[in-house]
């Protein structure tokens, strides 16, 4: 079973990956005349096992997609935060897709108090 790191180095790597993904979405071209569409998928895992895939309907006004997009900035870890070292279980969610033409990829777990709060925030957003 592959162990996932959750220390400062993992948070820095996540922040770097999000920055690279955001910059990759900034490439311009003349063929980008249409307005970007939002497409979000949430994958739920129990440890390493994929248990559910949730494609969100972003064409619908409001709803779960809009709620998840609204909380995305709050799901990224703060490199300076101090978290309680309480393990909440192996569950994790990975949010991927495109928001306003920018690629997004965020993972939340239940590895510590901060991650559990993010996981719960995403749970509420998925409820719509």
Domain chopping of the chain, boundaries: 37-126
**Distance between CA 126 and CA 122 in Å, rounded?**
6
The two tokens of residue 36 are 């970007």
The percent of residues in the chain predicted with pLDDT above 90, rounded, is 59
Instruction: Of 51, 57, 39, 49, give the one whose Cα is nearest residue 95.
Output: 39
**Distance between CA 41 and CA 3 in Å, rounded?**
23
Question: What is the architecture, at CATH level 2, of domain 37-126?
Answer: 2-Layer Sandwich (3.30)
Predicted confidence (pLDDT) at residue 15 exceeds the cutoff of 50: no
**Among all chains, which residue has been given the structure tokens 């925030």?**
121
**Distance between CA 46 and CA 24 in Å, rounded?**
30
Q: How confident is the model at residue 37 (pLDDT cuts 50, 70, 90)?
A: confident
Tens-place pLDDT, residues 75-120? 998 889 999 999 999 999 999 999 999 999 999 999 999 999 999 9
């Amino acid at each position: 079973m592959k162990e996932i790191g959750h220390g400062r180095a993992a948070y820095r790597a996540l922040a770097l990956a999000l920055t690279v993904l955001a910059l990759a979405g900034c490439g311009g071209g003349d063929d980008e005349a249409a307005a970007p569409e939002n497409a979000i998928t949430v994958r739920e895992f129990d440890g390493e096992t994929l248990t559910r895939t949730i494609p969100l309907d972003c064409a619908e006004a409001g709803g779960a997609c809009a709620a998840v997009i609204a909380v995305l900035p709050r799901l990224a870890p703060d490199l300076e935060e101090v978290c309680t070292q309480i393990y909440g279980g192996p569950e994790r969610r990975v949010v991927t897709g495109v928001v306003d033409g920018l690629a997004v990829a965020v993972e939340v777990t239940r590895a510590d108090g901060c991650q559990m709060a993010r996981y719960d925030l995403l749970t509420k957003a998925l409820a719509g």
